């Protein structure tokens, strides 16, 4: 299959998903509302937390929570694209696409492209609303671009996890299986307070959780106090690579089952 | 003798919707199987919903078991049973638990409930599966349970809304046997809606054909078909040069003044004496020495009746409807 | 209650309980998920008890009220979906052809939700105590807690029944799930109302009836028998339940149009 053909398959799959996403309020509105809602609830309801002794974050609690919400929105955006893959295969549309595409990995690339565009759209909205609400941003343009890039890597990673599940089960009933591990992985990171203010078993788990590195790095970028940014990108890339392999194996499973 | 079901000028109009039933009159005698035949969207199910008191009529009057469906709904429901278009069952309950629920809701005495439930389960052949959850039942099993639940309180009038749609031939045949037994053995009046010609032909004492919310024809299947015409016989001569002689023989059995219809290959004629003439035709061809390669009897069907009355065929629409029903997603 | 009404309610209640218990996919998440969240949040927000004025030194004790509300939200989704499925499959029509009254239908449907609600309350209490939470109300407070759990289940159960009758499909009822989570998050879920820093958030939490449900349960854990908190908790839950029960009855008249 020529590169041109691969690219056109990927682009048309991406176009179709984005067309459905932006054209369907039932998909679009929750994707916007949920991250906003969490941002408001956490930053608004828990702002007193920054008064805790040793809570040391110069840019304020809003920026602190924004970083988590950005990561969460990116991750769940990937999972929701995975839901779409499951629905496509359950309805038989996935089979139609597999019959048409000579190299099936182009389909996965198309889903990934659409997930990235969706994530970028949500990120821009979130940034706009957070800045409008008075969030302090001590980092400059490179830091903000870095935040976006890290978020997009999280998005693709989560998509590949969800895609692997979706392609193996080919049913939207597998939705909780896609969603719950991501939810747990995110919430076993420092959500409300920095890592050193976590206690007990959660502190131990969070210490080894790669999402801890990612969220703390995001916080470092927004506050212009870099925190292992390179390591965070490496961790995100490594996770992405692992789950890409997982998704590709899922694609083989779907092929073997006839879609 | 009062009718089991009597309908006059029945109209049902849905809000912002179609005139689903557009003025129908019908009368079903006690113990009769009345087949209500029509394509999808004709108004069959709407009529059943009105007669079973699930929705009120817009205009007109309907009496079921002597009670007005619009004003005496509770009395009507005491005397009827219904198995509607969907086999409305709870996938998490077993057949026995369904029976327990239904008998309790129908107000059967406590000591009667189990006995009646077990009796009906056995009657529809579900004894072995009675303690399994209905979610695992086949389509035929669900329909049988649906029918059994409709009979819990011993109704005198039974409404069956497309009871065999989506069933395999064996299950369909079993359902037909049960319906016939209810009517002939127990004197239950059966109001049956269907889009299957064969079902109406086989089961119904009388058939009402509905299209676009109106009854376009009503009568026994035989009488309706006879209205359209006698059966015809079509033959192909083994030797093409014998076509003329073949036409001559067939003409003797046709209606006066009827010429045999010829195509390049076959000759056909409407039989004046009906299907009984076929043996005579064969004997005549044999005695004249006309060898035939192909001989076929074409009898008018209810589809021909439908076509004559409405200008379009029921059979194609029925098949499409059946396919749609077969491929429709199952309820959760 | 007349004999036949009692019989109908009993038959429908039995079915409701069986149906609930036979759906592990409904029961298990509503038991496990809230416990996991409270464990994570307790560890994540443990330091919050150091904020001056925080009513307890155990965030677990403080947060254990939250699962009671989350369980209620699950019951909207689960109980409502069950009734919606009855509507979609035509089972409601089957029931309508019997002498069953509308009152029996609604009351019977609630049974499964209420049984699960009380069981959940008992489980949350036992697990919470085992994990180190403190229950100030003691043994005498246990029946009060279970009664409050029953009332909270009643409130949310009625919401679910109304939603099912009004909306008619399981998908639409499930769509309420995130809406209810909004009510949960914009409450005194994570901080006492007097410690919420953002004025607008504190106002929203004050007007949010869910805050009083949480505070009623919480008072048994922290203060013991706080008459005002309990009165508000019981009062709001019963009022919400009765309001939605009335709305459900009105919707039932439309849904069950039998003559």
SS (HEC) of B88-106: CCCCCCEHHHHHHHHHHHC
Nearest CA in chain C to A197: C47
pLDDT at C29 (0 to 100): 80
What residues does each domain of chain A span? 3-256
pLDDT at C236 (0 to 100): 97
Residues of B in contact with C12 (CB under 8 A): 101, 105
Are residues B77 and C89, on separate chains, in Cβ contact within 8 Å?
no
pLDDT at B332 (0 to 100): 29
pLDDT tens per residue across span A163-215: 999 999 998 888 889 988 999 999 999 999 999 888 888 899 999 999 999 99
From residue A240, how far is each of A69, A170, B83 by CA, in Å?
A: 20, 21, 55
Count structural domains, chain B.
Answer: 2
Q: At residue C4, does pLDDT exceed 70?
A: yes
CATH of the domain at B245: 3.30.70.980
β-pair partners for B63: B6, B68
- Give exposure, C17-44, as e/b (b: 16+ Cβ within 10 Å): bbbbeebeebbebbbebbbbbbbbbbbb
pLDDT at A101 (0 to 100): 78
pLDDT at B317 (0 to 100): 47
> Which two structure tokens, joined as six digits, stand for A125?
């909205």
Query: Do residue B168 and residue B62 come from a single domain?
Result: yes
Using alpha carbons only, what angle is made at residue B219 by residues B215 and B220, rounded to the nearest 5 degrees? 140
What residues does each domain of chain C span? 3-255
Query: Do residue B134 and residue B49 come from a single domain?
Result: yes
How sure is the predictor about C26, in pLDDT bands with cuts at 50, 70 and 90? confident
pLDDT at B157 (0 to 100): 96
pLDDT tens per residue across span C84-112: 989 988 899 999 999 888 888 888 888 88
How sure is the predictor about C3, in pLDDT bands with cuts at 50, 70 and 90? low
Query: Do residue B265 and residue B124 come from a single domain?
Result: no
pLDDT at B261 (0 to 100): 67
β-pair partners for B12: B21
Minimum-distance CB partner of B89 among C91, C98, C100: C91
Instruction: Please state the ipTM of this predicted complex.
Output: 0.76
Length of chain A: 259
Q: Which residues of chain A have pLDDT under 70?
A: 1, 258-259
Q: Note which residues in 83-112 of chain A have CB less than 8 A from chain C.
A: none
Q: Which residues of chain B have pLDDT under 50?
A: 317-332
Looking at B190, B225, B260, the residue that finishes a domain is B225
Mutation test of the interface with chain C: which of B91, B92, B137, choosing the one with the most C Cβ atoms within 10 A? B92
Is 0.90 topped by the overall pTM?
no
Query: Do residue B160 and residue B254 come from a single domain?
Result: no
Q: How many Cβ contacts (< 8 angstroms) between chains B and C?
A: 89
Query: Do residue B174 and residue B274 come from a single domain?
Result: no
Query: Do residue B158 and residue B185 come from a single domain?
Result: yes
CATH of the domain at B153: 3.40.50.300
Query: What distance in Å separates the CA atoms of residue B131 and residue C236, rounded to the nearest whole number?
Result: 43
Q: How many CA atoms lie within 13 A of B124 on its CB side?
A: 30
pLDDT tens per residue across span C239-248: 999 999 999 9
- Note whether residue B323 is domain-resident: no
pLDDT at B257 (0 to 100): 61
pLDDT tens per residue across span B16-42: 778 899 999 999 999 999 999 988 889
* Nearest-CA distance C2 → chain A (Å): 43
Query: Do residue B218 and residue B128 come from a single domain?
Result: yes
* Nearest-CA distance C13 → chain B (Å): 10
pLDDT at B178 (0 to 100): 92
> C65, C62, C43, C90: which is closest to C222 by C-alpha?
C62
* Nearest-CA distance C51 → chain A (Å): 6
Q: Is the CB of C46 inside 8 Å of chain A's CB atoms? A: yes
**Which chains are within 8 Å of A by 3+ CB pairs?**
C
pLDDT at B84 (0 to 100): 87
Query: Do residue B22 and residue B95 come from a single domain?
Result: yes
Domain housing B14: 5-225
> Which two structure tokens, joined as six digits, stand for C41?
């949040």
SS3 call for B261? strand
Please tell me which residue, C256 or C156, carries the higher pLDDT value.
C156
From residue B33, how far is each of B4, B77, B108, B331, C192 by CA, in Å?
A: 11, 19, 27, 30, 71
pLDDT at C2 (0 to 100): 59
pLDDT at B209 (0 to 100): 92
Query: What distance in Å separates the CA atoms of residue C101 and residue C146, rounded to the nearest whole number?
Result: 29
């Amino acid at each position: 299959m020529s590169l041109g053909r691969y690219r056109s398959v990927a682009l048309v799959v991406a176009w179709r998903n984005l067309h459905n996403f932006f054209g369907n309020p039932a998909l679009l509105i929750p994707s916007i509302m949920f991250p906003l809602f969490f941002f408001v609830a956490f930053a608004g309801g828990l702002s007193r937390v920054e008064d805790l002794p040793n809570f040391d974050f110069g840019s304020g609690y809003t920026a602190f929570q924004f970083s988590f919400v950005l990561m969460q929105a990116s991750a769940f955006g990937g999972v929701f694209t995975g839901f779409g893959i499951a629905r496509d295969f359950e309805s038989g549309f996935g089979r139609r696409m597999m019959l048409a595409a000579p190299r099936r990995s182009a389909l996965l690339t198309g889903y990934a492209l659409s997930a990235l565009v969706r994530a970028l759209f949500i990120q821009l909205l979130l940034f706009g609303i957070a800045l409008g609400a008075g969030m302090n941003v001590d980092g400059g343009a490179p830091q903000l671009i870095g935040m976006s890039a890290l978020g997009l890597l999280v998005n693709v990673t989560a998509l590949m996890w969800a895609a692997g599940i979706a392609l193996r089960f080919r049913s939207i009933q597998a939705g909780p299986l896609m969603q719950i591990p991501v939810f747990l992985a995110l919430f076993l990171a420092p959500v409300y307070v920095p890592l050193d203010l976590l206690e007990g078993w959660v502190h131990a788990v969070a210490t080894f959780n790669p999402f801890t590195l990612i969220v703390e790095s995001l916080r470092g970028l927004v506050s212009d106090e870099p925190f292992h940014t390179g390591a965070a990108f490496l961790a995100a890339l490594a996770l992405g690579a692992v789950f890409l392999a997982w998704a590709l194996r899922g694609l083989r499973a779907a092929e073997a089952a006839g879609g | 003798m009062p009718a089991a079901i009597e309908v006059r000028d029945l109209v049902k109009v849905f809000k912002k919707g179609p005139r689903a039933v557009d003025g129908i009159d019908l009368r079903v005698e006690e113990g009769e199987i009345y087949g209500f035949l029509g394509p999808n969207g004709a108004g069959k199910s709407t009529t059943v919903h009105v007669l079973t008191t699930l929705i009120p009529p817009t205009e007109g009057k309907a009496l079921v078991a002597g009670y007005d469906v619009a004003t005496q709904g509770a009395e009507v429901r005491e005397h009827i049973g219904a198995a509607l278009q969907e086999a409305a069952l709870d996938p998490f309950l077993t057949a026995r638990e369904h029976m327990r629920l239904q008998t309790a809701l129908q107000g059967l005495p406590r000591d009667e409930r189990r006995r009646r439930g077990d009796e009906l389960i056995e009657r529809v052949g579900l004894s072995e599966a009675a303690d399994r959850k209905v979610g695992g039942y086949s389509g035929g099993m669900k329909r049988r349970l649906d029918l059994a639940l409709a009979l819990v309180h011993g109704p005198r009038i039974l409404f069956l809304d497309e009871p065999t749609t989506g069933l395999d031939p064996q299950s369909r045949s079993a359902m037909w046997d049960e319906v016939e037994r209810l009517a002939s053995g127990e004197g239950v009046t059966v109001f049956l809606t269907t889009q299957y010609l064969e079902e109406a032909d086989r089961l119904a004492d009388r058939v009402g054909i509905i299209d676009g919310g109106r009854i376009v024809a009503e009568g026994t299947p035989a009488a309706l078909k006879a209205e359209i015409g006698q059966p015809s016989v079509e033959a192909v001569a083994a030797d093409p040069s014998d076509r003329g002689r073949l036409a001559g023989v067939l003409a003797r059995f046709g209606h006066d003044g009827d010429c045999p219809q010829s195509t390049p290959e076959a000759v056909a004629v409407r039989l004046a004496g009906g299907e009984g003439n076929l043996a005579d035709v064969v004997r005549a061809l044999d005695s004249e020495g006309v060898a035939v390669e192909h001989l076929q009897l074409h009898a008018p069907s209810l589809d021909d009746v439908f076509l004559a009355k409405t200008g379009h065929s029921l059979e194609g629409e029925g098949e499409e409807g059946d396919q749609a029903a077969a491929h429709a997603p199952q309820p959760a | 209650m007349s004999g036949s009404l009692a019989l109908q309610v009993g038959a429908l209640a039995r079915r409701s309980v069986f149906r609930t218990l036979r759906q592990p996919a409904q029961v298990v998440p509503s038991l496990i998920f809230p416990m996991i969240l409270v464990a994570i949040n307790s560890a994540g927000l443990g330091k919050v008890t150091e904020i001056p004025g925080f009513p307890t030194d155990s965030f677990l004790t403080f947060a254990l009220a939250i699962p009671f509300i989350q369980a209620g939200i699950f019951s909207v989704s689960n109980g409502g979906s069950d009734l919606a499925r009855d509507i979609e499959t035509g089972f409601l029509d089957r029931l309508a052809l019997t002498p069953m009254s509308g009152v029996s239908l609604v009351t019977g449907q609630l049974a499964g939700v209420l049984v699960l609600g009380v069981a959940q309350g008992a489980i949350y209490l036992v697990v919470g105590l085992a994990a180190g939470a403190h229950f100030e109300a003691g043994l005498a407070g246990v029946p009060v807690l279970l009664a409050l759990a029953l009332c909270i289940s009643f409130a949310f159960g009625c919401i679910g029944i109304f939603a099912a009758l009004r909306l008619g499909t399981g998908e639409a009822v499930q769509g309420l799930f995130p809406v209810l989570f909004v009510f949960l998050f914009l409450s005194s879920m994570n901080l006492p109302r007097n410690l919420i820093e953002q004025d607008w958030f504190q106002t929203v939490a004050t007007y949010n009836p869910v805050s009083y449900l949480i505070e009623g349960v919480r008072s048994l854990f922290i203060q013991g028998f706080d008459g005002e908190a309990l009165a508000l908790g019981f009062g709001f839950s019963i009022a919400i339940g009765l309001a939605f029960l009335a709305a459900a009855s009105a919707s039932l008249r439309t849904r069950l149009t039998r003559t």
